[in-house]
């Protein structure tokens, strides 16, 4: 950077801090207020209203630095300056060979490798920021203060390009919309509207690296939304979308197409909820960038899901009507009763999810949950990592996205369904996993595909790891589905064999000092849960326990009907237990309870599809990291009162 530029920046920082006027009266800036001052300095340097700069940054990163690592859309730092060259192309990383349909009546459908992403301006904003500031891209990525300067320079550049040089925050609507990088008018507008909602309501929080940040509320602000017309953006097709009005959605259909060899793709026609109740909303990540995901879902020979969400601005594409069944969860019973949302991202690479995507996803899920009467809890709003394998040999092939860095607590806060409860004590019945995301940082490894034994970036996580004894150096538990030889689970980021996730509920097995044990895969799993840093709280609910005298109870990956329920000409699906058992005396949190069901849909003609229902009833339980099913006749359902 030129010396003159450095001097200008230094003077600006001193002036904003109020230190230049009287050196003798100067007081040091508190260490936890440096970022707030950096925003003020950058705003002054580039002539951007400070509240606009703060609002844009909040919607991208919530003012966090994320240790200088990229987001799921290659964005760095508080201002989400994008650099696809540095972030890399992304791949299907450390995922199993899951059959996304998960239907034993059909041959497995194996996933494809995604094509490499194409460089686009919205994925390379760091170059323009470097040109405008005279700061090299590496520094813009890694240095929070310089990153903020880069974002301010971009906003000022967009504002000047539109010919709006006013200092009023309300007149920066067009520049904010341009900052989103969206090519769609609705997406740019939704991003800008959300930024100005943040400005109107105000925000304050402590960042992931301990900085205290505040944006004072400005409830009277009226943004100049008419500036959107100046951006000349495309108007997307919204003809078939099922989304709330306040978010940006477009219709990009997945093909329902007949293929050679009596085959078809890439989803199944249905008539939900009239014929089948929708019980689950499944949260996935794409393991590829936005354009890659759109290319794959439009391939008639590939798989499908209902919605894709873009990271940088939260824009949504709907591909399959919610009445129809997508091929996304690797378990046909869950597919037939769920809606699948794919979020642009990579489960294992230590990347982070943007606030813009969290917000639009939360609004969409809340809308769908209200429409289909789906409870807003973690027994029904589930990750792909919670979905069980259908039969024993499918268990190790199941995917585990969205991974340990998805912030379930913040997500449910945005949906208006926060996790809350009391202190876990001896005698407590049921608990809900709820660590403080930013401070909870398990030491996983395996995020770097070029160095698979290296530790993952130190990042906030919703995961709580379990141990065989109440001490930090005790071995992890054993998941015989993932480790058939009986060896303990590991801290590999993809190994969920001894791991819980925020919002999941488990029965309390024991409390000993600052340690709490839960029942998990037939074992007692311990985690550190001190009063000064609790990782769980008590809740009310229901638990199941094996009926006395039955011995270990079989556990299933799908809730299928008995053979006698199938009509003539429909081969019965086998009811195959998984490799796990529910032992006598152990309790597990209960979720969905209902009638057995199988959607027989193996032909292109929807008129030949039929829903088979049996007399067998099942109860969903939180058995390990994934849920499972037990037959209602094998268990008692008990209340958890405290």
Alpha carbon separation from 562 to 83, 278, 597, 608, 613 (Å, rounded) = 54, 21, 9, 21, 9
Q: Which residues make Cβ contacts (< 8 Å) with residue 260, sequence separation at least 6?
A: none
Do β-strands 280-285 and 325-326 pair in parallel, antiparallel, or remain unpaired? unpaired
Residues 72/351, Cβ–Cβ less than 8 Å:
yes
Percent of the chain with pLDDT over 70: 93
Give CA–CA dist 250/30, Å, rounded. 46
Report the pLDDT value the prediction gives residue 94, as an integer from 0 to 100: 53
| Residue 35: closest CA among 218, 208, 217 | 208
Alpha carbon separation from 288 to 60, 134, 188, 340 (Å, rounded) = 19, 32, 22, 16
Percent of the chain with pLDDT over 90: 87
Tell me the mean pLDDT in the region 607-629.
Answer: 98
| Residue 416: closest CA among 381, 456, 455 | 381
Higher pLDDT, 351 or 6: 351
Backbone angles phi, psi at 553, to 5 degrees: -95, 135
- Token readout for 420 is 């809350």
Tell me the mean pLDDT in the region 195-219.
Answer: 97
Q: Is the pLDDT of residue 298 over 60?
A: yes
| Residue 479: closest CA among 625, 631, 629, 348 | 625
pLDDT digits (tens, 9 = 90+) for 415-463: 999 999 999 999 999 999 999 999 999 999 999 888 999 999 999 999 9
Backbone angles phi, psi at 137, to 5 degrees: -55, -40
Helix ranges restricted to H, 3-124: 3-17, 34-46, 50-61, 84-87
Q: Is the pLDDT of residue 8 over 50?
A: no
DSSP class of residue 211 equals: -
pLDDT digits (tens, 9 = 90+) for 84-127: 999 876 554 455 689 999 999 998 887 666 666 666 777 899 99
Report the pLDDT value the prediction gives residue 546, as an integer from 0 to 100: 97
Higher pLDDT, 115 or 618: 618
Taking the model in full, what pTM does it have?
Answer: 0.94
Residues 445/492, Cβ–Cβ less than 8 Å:
yes
Start-to-end Cα distance in the chain: 61
Q: Is the pLDDT of residue 617 over 90?
A: yes
Tell me the mean pLDDT in the region 606-616.
Answer: 97
Looking from the CA of 110 toward its CB, the CA atoms found within 13 Å total 3
398-434 burial by CB neighbour count: b if 16+ within 10 A, else e? bbbbbbbbbbbbbbbebbebebebeebeeebbbbbbb
Residues 389/578, Cβ–Cβ less than 8 Å:
yes
Report the pLDDT value the prediction gives residue 580, as an integer from 0 to 100: 98
Give CA–CA dist 409/422, Å, rounded. 16
Least confident interval from 178-187, 273-282, 346-355: 346-355
pLDDT digits (tens, 9 = 90+) for 42-66: 999 999 999 999 999 999 999 999 9
Mean pLDDT of the chain: 93
- Token readout for 419 is 């996790």
Tell me the mean pLDDT in the region 132-153.
Answer: 98
- Token readout for 564 is 């006698």
Give CA–CA dist 202/427, Å, rounded. 42
Q: Is the pLDDT of residue 510 over 60?
A: yes
Give CA–CA dist 195/312, Å, rounded. 13
Report the pLDDT value the prediction gives residue 15, as an integer from 0 to 100: 38
């Amino acid at each position: 950077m030129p010396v003159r530029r450095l001097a200008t920046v230094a003077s600006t920082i001193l002036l904003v801090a109020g230190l230049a006027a009287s050196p003798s009266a100067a007081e040091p800036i508190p260490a936890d207020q440096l970022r707030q001052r950096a925003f003020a300095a950058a705003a002054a340097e580039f002539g951007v209203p400070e509240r606009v700069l703060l609002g844009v940054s909040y919607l991208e990163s919530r003012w966090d630095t994320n240790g200088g690592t990229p987001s799921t859309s290659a964005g760095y730092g508080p201002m989400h300056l994008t650099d696809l060259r540095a972030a890399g192309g992304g791949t299907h990383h450390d995922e199993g060979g899951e059959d996304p349909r998960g239907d034993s009546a059909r041959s497995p459908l194996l996933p494809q490798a995604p094509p490499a992403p194409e460089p686009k301006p919205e994925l390379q904003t760091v170059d323009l920021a470097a040109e405008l500031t005279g700061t090299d891209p590496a520094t813009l990525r890694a240095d929070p203060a310089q990153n903020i300067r880069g974002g301010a320079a971009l906003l000022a550049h967009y504002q000047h390009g539109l010919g709006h040089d006013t200092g009023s925050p309300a007149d920066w609507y067009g520049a904010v919309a341009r900052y989103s990088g969206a090519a769609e008018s609705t997406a740019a507008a939704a991003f800008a509207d959300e930024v100005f909602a943040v400005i109107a309501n105000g925000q304050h929080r402590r960042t992931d690296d301990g900085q205290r940040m505040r944006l004072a509320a400005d409830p009277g602000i009226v943004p100049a939304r008419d500036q959107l017309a100046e951006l000349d953006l495309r108007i997307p097709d919204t003809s078939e979308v099922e989304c709330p009005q306040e978010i940006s959605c477009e219709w990009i259909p997945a093909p329902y197409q007949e293929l050679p060899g009596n085959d078809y793709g890439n989803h199944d026609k249905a008539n939900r909820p009239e014929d089948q109740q929708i019980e689950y909303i499944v949260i996935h990540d794409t393991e590829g960038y936005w354009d890659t995901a759109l290319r794959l879902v439009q391939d008639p020979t590939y798989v499908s899901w209902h919605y894709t969400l873009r990271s940088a601005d939260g824009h949504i594409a709907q591909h399959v009507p919610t009445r129809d069944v997508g091929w996304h969860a690797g378990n046909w019973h869950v597919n037939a009763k769920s809606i699948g949302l794919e979020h642009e991202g990579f489960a294992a690479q230590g990347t982070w999810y943007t606030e813009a995507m969290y917000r639009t996803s939360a609004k969409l899920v809340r809308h769908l949950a209200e429409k289909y009467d789906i409870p807003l809890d973690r027994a029904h709003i589930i990750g792909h990592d919670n979905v069980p394998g259908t039969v024993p040999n499918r268990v190790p092939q199941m995917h585990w996205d969205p991974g340990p860095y998805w912030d379930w607590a913040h997500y449910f806060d945005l949906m208006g369904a926060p996790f809350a409860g009391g202190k876990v004590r001896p005698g407590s019945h049921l608990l809900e996993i709820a660590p403080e995301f930013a401070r909870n940082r398990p030491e996983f490894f395996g995020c770097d595909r070029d160095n698979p034994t290296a530790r993952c970036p130190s990042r906030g996580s919703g995961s709580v790891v379990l141990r065989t004894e109440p001490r930090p150096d005790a071995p992890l538990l054993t998941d015989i589905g993932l480790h058939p030889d009986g060896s303990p689970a590991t801290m590999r980021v993809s190994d969920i064999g001894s791991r819980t996730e925020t919002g999941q509920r488990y029965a309390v097995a024991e409390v000993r000092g600052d340690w709490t044990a839960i029942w998990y895969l037939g074992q007692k799993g311990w985690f550190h849960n001190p009063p000064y840093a609790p990782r769980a709280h008590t809740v009310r609910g229901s638990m199941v326990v094996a009926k006395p005298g039955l011995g270990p109870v079989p556990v299933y990956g799908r809730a299928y009907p008995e053979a006698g329920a199938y009509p003539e000409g429909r081969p019965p699906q086998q009811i195959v237990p998984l490799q796990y058992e529910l032992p006598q005396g152990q309790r597990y949190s209960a979720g969905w309870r209902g009638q057995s069901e199988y959607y027989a849909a193996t032909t292109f003609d929807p008129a030949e599809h039929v829903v088979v229902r049996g007399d067998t009833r099942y109860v969903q339980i939180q058995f390990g990291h994934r849920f499972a099913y037990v037959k209602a006749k094998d268990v008692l359902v008990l209340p958890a009162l405290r």
